[in-house]
Amino acid sequence: MGNYHQFDVVVIGAGGAGLMAALYASKTASTAVLSKLYPTRSHTGTAQGGVGAALGNEGEDHPEWHTFDTVKGSDYLGDQDAIEFMCFEAVQAVYELEHYGLPFSRTPDGRIAQRPFGGHTNNVTGKPVSRACYAADRTGHMILQTLYQQCIKNHVNFYDEYQVLDMLIENGAAAGVIALELATGELHTFHAKAIIIATGGHGRIWEITSNAYTFTGDGPAIAMRRGIPLEDMEFFQFHPTGIYRLGILITEGVRGEGGILVNDKGERFMEKYAPKVKDLASRDVVSRAMYLEMREGRGIGGKRYLYLDMRPETVNKYAALDGRKRTDGSPYMVTGEELLSKLPDIVDFARTYLGVDPVAQPMPIQPTAHYAMGGIPTNKLGEVVIDEGNTVLPGLYAAGECACVSVHGANRLGTNSLLDLIVFGKYAGLQAAEFSRGASFQTLPSDPTDNIRQQLDLIRNSDGEEKAYTISNEMKAVMFDEVGVFRSQEGMQKALDKVHELQERLKHVRRPDQGKIFNTELINTWELGNLLDLAEITTVSALRRTESRGGHAREDFPSRDDANWLKHTLAWNKDGAISLGYKPVTITKYQPKERVY
Partner 1 sequence: MQVTLKIFRYNPETDKKPHYAKYKLEAEPTDRVLDLLEYVKGNFDGTLSFRRSCAHGICGSDAMRINGRNRLACKMLVHELHSSKITVEPILGLAIIKDLIVDMEPFFANYRSVMPYFVNDEPAPKQERLQSPEDRERFDDTTKCILCACCTASCPSFWANDEYAGPAAIVAAHRFIFDSRDRAAAERLEILNQQFGVYRCHTIFNCTDACPREIQVTRAIGEVKRAIATGKID
Q: Which residues are marked as active site?
A: 283
**Binding of partner 1 by 111 (CB under 8 A):** yes
Residue 516, number of CB atoms within 10 A of its CB: 14
Q: Compute CA distances 378 → 65, 102, 401, 428, whole Å.
A: 24, 28, 12, 10
**Binding of partner 1 by 37 (CB under 8 A):** yes
**Binding of partner 1 by 463 (CB under 8 A):** no
Tell me how far, at minimum, the Cβ of 90 lies from partner 1, in Å. Answer: 13
Tell me how far, at minimum, the Cβ of 98 lies from partner 1, in Å. Answer: 4
Contacts (Cβ under 8 Å, ≥6 apart) of 265: 298
Q: Could you say which of 115, 120, 138, 545 contacts partner 1 (CB under 8 A)?
A: 138
The secondary element (H helix, E strand) that includes residue 221 is helix 218-225
**Binding of partner 1 by 458 (CB under 8 A):** no
**Binding of partner 1 by 587 (CB under 8 A):** no
**Binding of partner 1 by 326 (CB under 8 A):** no
Of all residues in the chain, what percent are helix, strand and coil, respectively (each to 5)? 40, 25, 40
Q: Could you say which of 469, 574, 579, 584 contacts partner 1 (CB under 8 A)?
A: 469
**Binding of partner 1 by 588 (CB under 8 A):** no
The secondary element (H helix, E strand) that includes residue 90 is helix 80-99
- The CA distance from 128 to 126, in Å, is 7
**Binding of partner 1 by 367 (CB under 8 A):** no
Q: Interface mask (CB under 8 A) for partner 1, residues 71-100, using x and -?
A: -----------------------xx--xxx
**Binding of partner 1 by 327 (CB under 8 A):** no
Q: Could you say which of 10, 87, 142, 396 contacts partner 1 (CB under 8 A)?
A: 142
Q: 344-363: which residues touch partner 1 (CB under 8 A)?
A: 345, 348-349, 352-353, 355
Tell me how far, at minimum, the Cβ of 516 lies from partner 1, in Å. Answer: 7
Q: Is 30 exposed, middle or buried (CB count within 10 Å of its CB: 0-12, 13-18, 19+)?
A: middle
Q: Are 54 and 87 in contact (CB under 8 A)?
A: yes
- The CA distance from 364 to 285, in Å, is 19
Q: Are 164 and 187 in contact (CB under 8 A)?
A: no
Tell me how far, at minimum, the Cβ of 440 lies from partner 1, in Å. Answer: 34
CB closer to partner 1, 55 vs 175 = 55
Contacts (Cβ under 8 Å, ≥6 apart) of 229: 377, 386, 387, 570, 571, 572, 581
Tell me whether strands 403-404 and 230-231 are parallel, antiparallel or unpaired.
unpaired
Amino acid at 479: M
Q: Could you say which of 150, 163, 189, 366 contacts partner 1 (CB under 8 A)?
A: 150
**Binding of partner 1 by 244 (CB under 8 A):** no
Query: Using alpha carbons only, what angle is made at residue 201 by residues 138 and 566, rounded to the nearest 5 degrees?
Result: 110
DSSP secondary structure code for residue 266 in this structure: S
CB closer to partner 1, 140 vs 551 = 140
**Binding of partner 1 by 575 (CB under 8 A):** no
Q: 155-214: which residues touch partner 1 (CB under 8 A)?
A: 183, 212-214
Tell me how far, at minimum, the Cβ of 557 lies from partner 1, in Å. Answer: 36
Q: Could you say which of 71, 77, 83, 112 contacts partner 1 (CB under 8 A)?
A: 112
Tell me how far, at minimum, the Cβ of 85 lies from partner 1, in Å. Answer: 20
- The CA distance from 189 to 199, in Å, is 18
Tell me how far, at minimum, the Cβ of 546 lies from partner 1, in Å. Answer: 37
Q: Could you say which of 31, 34, 43, 398 contacts partner 1 (CB under 8 A)?
A: 43
Burial call 240-257: b when 16+ CB within 10 Å, e when fewer: bbbbbeebbbbbbbbbbb
The secondary element (H helix, E strand) that includes residue 129 is strand 128-133
**Binding of partner 1 by 467 (CB under 8 A):** yes
Q: Which residues bind partner 1 (CB under 8 A)?
A: 37-38, 40-43, 45-46, 55, 94-95, 98-101, 103-112, 135-136, 138, 141-142, 145-146, 149-150, 152-153, 183, 212-214, 246, 248, 345, 348-349, 352-353, 355, 467-470, 472, 510, 512-513, 515-521
